[in-house]
Structure 1
Amino acid sequence: MSVSSLRRFRAAVAAAAVLTAALGVGTSAAHADTAPTTPTQTRFQEPRDLLRALDFDALAADGWTLTDDEEATEVVELVAETTPAPPPAVTPEELTRIVPGIPAEKVEQFIAPLNDAMARSGIDNPVRQAAFIAQLAVESDSFRTFEEYASGRAYEGRADLGNTHPGDGERYKGRGAIQITGRHNYEKVSEHIGVDFVAHPELLAAPENAFTTAAWYWTSRNLNEVADTAGIVRVSELVNGGHHALGRRIDDFKRGLDVLLQP
């Protein structure tokens, strides 16, 4: 393969890898913004699968060919290099240290959906992860509950929350790992996740939905950028609407950074 042809090929492989990552090809589960219907087959399981997806005939017409195993190996290594690495996962031990009050039996149950929600939502650096976990820890009482302890009557008639029907306050009280509240938010998250939380609000408190819906709330308010730029106080204001338990949120955030930034 000539130098110029190899450069063209490198560009083609890089573009294919980027498009594959951007479109989510290669994951077996549906993205959070689509309703999971039937399981999808994994298409790209390893770098060589991506090579098979490229249009070699068209590339050959452009003047390049793979002439030996050494060049083929170089291409496979190139694909591996251009595939984005997944964000670092939080371990059960790290979660326990960040949120000391979390019940021991909940750690193993919640660690996988927590990491999955963060990975799918770009919560992919220690600042974002520490901020996200700090908010969830306060809103869920250290992951003890995914349903607000109060009855929800205080939200009755709150037009700003979309509670315009009798009984909406109690029906759509805070649920999920980040305590999503109000008919309006229940409608929005239902559209995004593909689960009818309006008709079945109790489903929002189920562990399999609690973290996915929390990640929806987080990204719908662009809180990754807020965490990166404005800081934990502003994140807390956008999650809670005020400064409730702000000291606790800041302390949990600092503890999260200490844990996640350790080598």
Structure 2
Amino acid sequence: MYVSHSRHVRAAIAAAALITAGTSVMGLGATAVANADTAIAAGPSISAPARYLEGGTLFSTIGFEALPKPESASAESATDAAASDGSATGAFAALSAFVTDSAAETEPATESAAEPAAEPAPEPAPAPPAGVTPEDLARIVPGIAAEKIAAYIAPLNEAMARSGIDNPVRQAAFIAQLAVESDSFRTFEEYASGRAYEGRADLGNTQPGDGERYKGRGAIQITGRHNYEKVSEYTGVDFIAHPELLAAPENAFTTAAWYWTSRNLNQVADTAGIVRVSELVNGGHHALSRRIADFQRGLDVLIRP
């Protein structure tokens, strides 16, 4: 702890004042007792007790001609008053002022609490994956009627966005399969009667009439009782009781996207390629050359618009 020279001086002055005041009190008491004893023995010829230092002569006695110039108006004025007073009360006041002022000088100032740092602005939400435009769809699937493009482009893009079909390879593969299965978006119901599927246990057709009842419908031709049950659970629409609803445009793309994701065809498109995607959609190589051609056309349009 650093204390300035003037602080030492004031401390010495205050201490000297206190000692002087205390000595005066004790000296006067001792003198009074001695004088009383002497008066009894010698009578009135005894001289007055020795004169003790008064407050006014204190500075010259300890070697200072005057009180050093104060640095702090509050503590120094109290020290000056105590020194000139010379009393015990003044000395204690001087010491109190000195200690208080010294503590104020030596104690470090309390730093104000740091304000909390402002939180960084949240990152902007990523833009939704870009879909295909009506012009894109017309170029990928030549011959599709303009009114059908206008009616189908929104549900197509919504289905792809919900199902992670979000890059050109996946989108081209998805549209190529839909184009073949729906005859270039001309129909969402299989042309054949479905009688060929009667009794197909692998499709879940275990009851009489299931073949025709649950023939291929939707943009990707969902087929068989088993698939109709699963897609009903997924959408909440009872396609078992009302299989014809699966061919409605508002359901055709949703159910196609369900079939796509249930077979993990995004990963297959990314890694195995269009032939394997076609096998998992169709069960074989039906119209494989057209599926490949539509896929390649889709890549050309979506990668190099």
Q: One fold, TM greater than 0.5?
A: yes
Query: Which letter does structure 2 place at the counterpart of 1:134?
Result: A
Residue 65 of structure 1 deviates from its aligned partner by 4.8
Equivalent pairs, count: 191
Report the CA distance shift for 1:159/1:89 in structure 2 as closer, same or farther (over 3 A).
same
2:201 to 159, 167, 176: 159
User: Does residue 144 of structure 1 match 2:186?
Assistant: yes
Query: Which letter does structure 1 place at the counterpart of 2:237?
Result: V
Q: How does 1:1-263 map to 2 (within 5 A)?
A: 64-66=116-118, 75=121, 78-80=122-124, 83-262=125-304
Residue 101 of structure 1 deviates from its aligned partner by 2.2
Normalising by the residue count of structure 2, what TM-score does the alignment of the two structures yield? Answer: 0.61
Residue 79 of structure 1 deviates from its aligned partner by 2.5
Residue 201 of structure 1 deviates from its aligned partner by 0.2
Residue 207 of structure 1 deviates from its aligned partner by 0.1
Unaligned stretches of 5+ residues in structure 1 = 1-62
| Distance in 1 separating the partners of 2:153 and 2:266 | 20
Query: Which letter does structure 2 place at the counterpart of 1:250?
Result: I
| Distance in 1 separating the partners of 2:146 and 2:166 | 25
Measured against aligned partners, the alpha-carbon deviations of 1:68-105 in whole angstroms (never above 9, x if no partner) come to: xxx7xx51xx431xx22211110000000000021221
- 2:154 is paired with a residue whose SS is helix
| Distance in 2 separating the partners of 1:111 and 1:100 | 15
- Corresponding residue of 2:101: none
Residue 161 of structure 1 deviates from its aligned partner by 0.1
Normalising by the residue count of structure 1, what TM-score does the alignment of the two structures yield? Answer: 0.71
Moved over 4 A (4+): none
- 2:123 is paired with a residue whose SS is helix
Measured against aligned partners, the alpha-carbon deviations of 1:138-169 in whole angstroms (never above 9, x if no partner) come to: 00000000000000000000000000000000
**Percent of residue pairs identical:** 84
- 1:79 is paired with a residue whose SS is coil
Report the CA distance shift for 1:238/1:64 in structure 2 as closer, same or farther (over 3 A).
farther
| Distance in 1 separating the partners of 2:132 and 2:174 | 12
| Distance in 1 separating the partners of 2:183 and 2:239 | 22
Residue 135 of structure 1 deviates from its aligned partner by 0.1
- 2:184 is paired with a residue whose SS is coil
Computed over aligned residues only, the root mean square deviation of the Cα atoms, in angstroms, reads 1.2
Larger radius of gyration: 2
| Distance in 2 separating the partners of 1:89 and 1:239 | 22
1 or 2 for the larger relative contact order (CA 8 Å, sep ≥6)?
1
Unaligned stretches of 5+ residues in structure 2 = 1-114
| Distance in 2 separating the partners of 1:137 and 1:164 | 30
Residue 215 of structure 1 deviates from its aligned partner by 0.1
| Distance in 2 separating the partners of 1:101 and 1:87 | 26
| Distance in 2 separating the partners of 1:64 and 1:169 | 69
